[in-house]
Structure 1
Amino acid sequence: MTCGAALWLGAPRAAAQTQTQAQAPASSDAQVIARGEYLARAGDCIACHTIPGAKLFGGGRPMATPFGTLFSPNISSDKETGIGAWSADEFYRMLHEGKSRDGSVLYPAMPYASYTKVARADSDAIYAYLLSTPPIHQPNRPHELRFPFNRRELLLGWRTLFFRAGEYKPDPAQSAEWNRGAYLVEGLGHCTMCHTEINALGGNTKSKEFQGGLIPIQDWYAPSLTSNKEAGLGEWSIEDIVGLLHAGVSNRGAVYGPMAEVVYDSFQYLSEDDVRAVAVYLKALPGHSGEVSSAPPTVAATEEKNRLFPLGKKIYDAQCALCHSSEGQGKPPHFPPLANNQSIQMTSAVNPIRMVLNGGYAPGTMKNPAPYGMPPFAQSLSDEEVAAVVTYIRTAWGNHGTPVTVKEVNTLRSAPIF
C-alpha cells in the first residue's frame, strides 16, 4: 500500500551489531516492546494493516493490484482472528520465509522479499510489540483475485524468480553508517516495492532496483533514486534529504501522494541518526538509467510546446505565481520551487499532472505540524488547460521536460486520490 521508503532500527554497525544484540538478554520486556513499536513504525505496518480511522492492526484494508484486490490480515493480539496464538518462531518464519502459520505461502503484497533481511532480534521485538496491542476480533476477509492468480500454488513459481531468503549481510568495505542505511532501506523499508518498476509478473527485476517506476493502480510515479535527473539525490545534501524525510518538506521539495503517507505514518517517528543513515545509503546508490534524454526534441514536440506554452503561462501567472513565484523559484520550504526541479522534468509527467488536478498537502509532521497545501484544479481547468500549465512548468525557466498531452491529463482524471 505504501510507496517508497520506511526505515528502522536494529541495523548494523552493521548487522553484526544486531546479531550481538540478539544474543544478549533484554533488560526488560518494556524495552523490547518499545523497540518493537519503533520498528513497526519504521516498517510502516499501520499503512497496510489498519483501515484509516479503524482500530489499530485490525486488518481488512483493501489493496488493489493488477491481479485483483487483496485484503490485509489482522495482526493484532487477538488469539482467534489475529496473531495472538502465534509463536515468535512462527512470526519470524513469516517475515523471513514469507509463509503463514499453517505453512501456506503469502502473496508478495506482503514485502517478505525485503523483510527476509530483517534480523531475528528485530523480528522478536516487533512480535512482542504486536502482542502487547489490544486484541481486535475481526475475521480476515478473503482476497478477491482473478483466475488464475487466486491459485496460491502458482506463487511457488514467483518465489523461484523473485525471492531469495536471507538476513542482511554487512559490506565490510563500507562505513557503519552506510551499512546501517542499507539494512534499513533493503529490509523493513522495502523501498524497492515502489521505486523499482514492477513487471508483468508482479516482481522487481534486480538489475532495475531503485530506478523508478509507475505504481500500478495508484497511478503515481515513484522516481528513480539512482538518477540525478529524477529524484536528484546526487545534487542534494544529506541535510536536505534528512529534512525531506523527517518533515515532509525541505528547501528542495515536498512529498505528496503515497510518499506523504509514508512520511506521516513512518519516517517522522525515526531517529535523526536512522534517517541520516538512510540518506547516506540512498545518496551513494550508483547512477543508472532514467536520466532525462539529452536528445533534441522532435518537431512535433516543439510544435506542441509552442502551441500550449502561451496558454500555460497565462494560467500559471493567474493561478500559480502567488505561491510558486513568477520565475518558479517558489517560497521554500512551504511552496517548493518549480524551476530546476527534477521531479517536474522527469520523463514521466504523471506526478505534476496529478498535483494540478488533485492538489494535496504535504504530511503534517512533528517538524511541520501545519503544512501548506495546494488546491485542486480538476473542476476549474479543462484537460487542455491542465496540459498547457503542466507543459509550461516543465519547459519554462530552463526546465527540460517535454510537453504534456490532453490525453495524458484525461486518463489521470479518474485516478485514485491520496
Structure 2
Amino acid sequence: MLTMTCLTLAQYGCNQPTQEKTPDDPAPKKMSHAELIDKGKYLVSAFCHDCHSPKKFTPAGPVLDSSKLLSGHPSGGPLPPIDKKTLQPGNWMLIGPDLTSFAGPWGISYTANITSDSATGIGAWSVAEFIAAMRTGKHLGQAGGRPILPPMPWQGIGQYTDDDLRAIYTYLQSTLPVSNKVQAPTTPDEVAKMP
C-alpha cells in the first residue's frame, strides 16, 4: 500500500479564488446540453479520474482502466494489510494500489461510482442532490447523510459555480453506466477490529 501525507494531495485543499461580478458584467450565455457535457468533461478530466477510475498497472505505471472509467473502487477489490499505527491523527494516510481506497484516522474510504448507472452510480441523483452534496460534504446532499470522506476535495469543488457543478453533473449523467456497487466506508472502530 502506498503512503502519502494529506498535504501532498494537490487537489485536497486547493480552492480557486472567485471573481466578483460587477453590475456591468453581461449575463452569462445559457449553454446547450452538448456544451454542458463538453464543459463537464473538461472539468472532470482535471482530477476526478485520479481517484474515481480504477487503474491497470503497466511497466510505465498505473493507467486508467478504460472499461471502468469513473466507476469507483472495484466491488470486492482486495485491500493490502493496514498498519493501524499509520491511521492515528497527524500521521500518514494509506492509499490502495489502484488509487481508489484510502485509509486514515477517518477509517477507510472507497471512491464512489459516479457513472450514470442508476442502481450503483449517480444515475438516479437529481442535479440538486449533486450540487448539495458538493456544497455540504454530505452524501446526496442530505442534512443527516453520511459525510463524504477524505480525500474527496468537496470543500474546493463546492466553491465552483452552480453552472460548473451543473456541467459536471450533466457530463456524469452522459457517461456509460458501469454497474459497480462500492462498499460502504469502514469506520475507525471496524478498522481497529481488523486482523
Shared fold, TM over 0.5: yes
Q: 2:113–2:120: 8 Å Cα contact kept in structure 1?
A: yes
Partner of 1:71: 110
Tell me how far 1:83 sits from its aligned partner. Answer: 0.5
Tell me how far 1:19 sits from its aligned partner. Answer: 9.9
- Does the C-alpha gap of structure 1 residues 40 and 97 become closer, same or farther in structure 2, counting only changes over 3 Å? same
Q: 1:91–1:127: 8 Å Cα contact kept in structure 2?
A: yes
Structure 1 residue 51 corresponds to structure 2 residue 54: yes
- Does the C-alpha gap of structure 1 residues 101 and 30 become closer, same or farther in structure 2, counting only changes over 3 Å? same
Partner of 1:200: none
Q: 2:41–2:168: 8 Å Cα contact kept in structure 1?
A: yes
Q: Unaligned regions of 5+ residues in structure 2, if any?
A: 1-5, 57-64, 74-99
The structure that has the greater radius of gyration is: 1
Tell me how far 1:101 sits from its aligned partner. Answer: 2.0
- Does the C-alpha gap of structure 1 residues 118 and 134 become closer, same or farther in structure 2, counting only changes over 3 Å? same
- Does the C-alpha gap of structure 1 residues 102 and 121 become closer, same or farther in structure 2, counting only changes over 3 Å? closer
SS at match of 1:16: coil
Q: 1:74–1:81: 8 Å Cα contact kept in structure 2?
A: yes
**How far apart, in 1, do the equivalents of 2:26 and 2:109 lie?**
34
- Which residue of the other structure, out of 115, 128, 147, is the alignment partner of 1:106? 147
- Which residue of the other structure, out of 124, 132, 144, is the alignment partner of 2:166? 124
SS at match of 1:128: helix
After superposition, give the CA deviation of every residue in 1:361-386 in whole Å (9 maximum; x if it has no partner): xxxxxxxxxxxxxxxxxxxxxxxxxx
Letter in 1 for 2:70: F
Tell me how far 1:15 sits from its aligned partner. Answer: 5.0
**How far apart, in 2, do the equivalents of 1:80 and 1:19 lie?**
41
TM-score (norm 1): 0.31
Partner of 1:300: none
Q: Unaligned regions of 5+ residues in structure 1, if any?
A: 151-418
Tell me how far 1:123 sits from its aligned partner. Answer: 0.2
Tell me how far 1:67 sits from its aligned partner. Answer: 3.6
SS at match of 1:70: strand
Tell me how far 1:41 sits from its aligned partner. Answer: 1.9
SS at match of 1:63: strand
Spell out the pairing of 1:75-224 with structure 2 (5 A cutoff): 75-101=114-140, 103=142, 104-109=145-150, 110-147=152-189
Q: 1:76–1:135: 8 Å Cα contact kept in structure 2?
A: yes
Partner of 1:172: none
Tell me how far 1:16 sits from its aligned partner. Answer: 3.0
Spell out the pairing of 1:182-331 with structure 2 (5 A cutoff): none
Q: 2:37–2:170: 8 Å Cα contact kept in structure 1?
A: yes
Partner of 1:33: 37
Q: 1:98–1:112: 8 Å Cα contact kept in structure 2?
A: yes
**How far apart, in 1, do the equivalents of 2:20 and 2:110 lie?**
33
**How far apart, in 2, do the equivalents of 1:98 and 1:143 lie?**
15
**How far apart, in 2, do the equivalents of 1:102 and 1:66 lie?**
23
- Does the C-alpha gap of structure 1 residues 52 and 119 become closer, same or farther in structure 2, counting only changes over 3 Å? same
Higher strand content, 1 or 2: 2
Tell me how far 1:98 sits from its aligned partner. Answer: 1.4
- Does the C-alpha gap of structure 1 residues 11 and 131 become closer, same or farther in structure 2, counting only changes over 3 Å? farther
Tell me how far 1:20 sits from its aligned partner. Answer: 4.2
Tell me how far 1:91 sits from its aligned partner. Answer: 0.6
SS at match of 2:103: strand
Partner of 2:59: none
TM-score (norm 2): 0.63
**How far apart, in 2, do the equivalents of 1:125 and 1:19 lie?**
20
**How far apart, in 1, do the equivalents of 2:189 and 2:165 lie?**
34
**How far apart, in 1, do the equivalents of 2:49 and 2:135 lie?**
20
After superposition, give the CA deviation of every residue in 1:322-364 in whole Å (9 maximum; x if it has no partner): xxxxxxxxxxxxxxxxxxxxxxxxxxxxxxxxxxxxxxxxxxx
**How far apart, in 2, do the equivalents of 1:126 and 1:36 lie?**
4
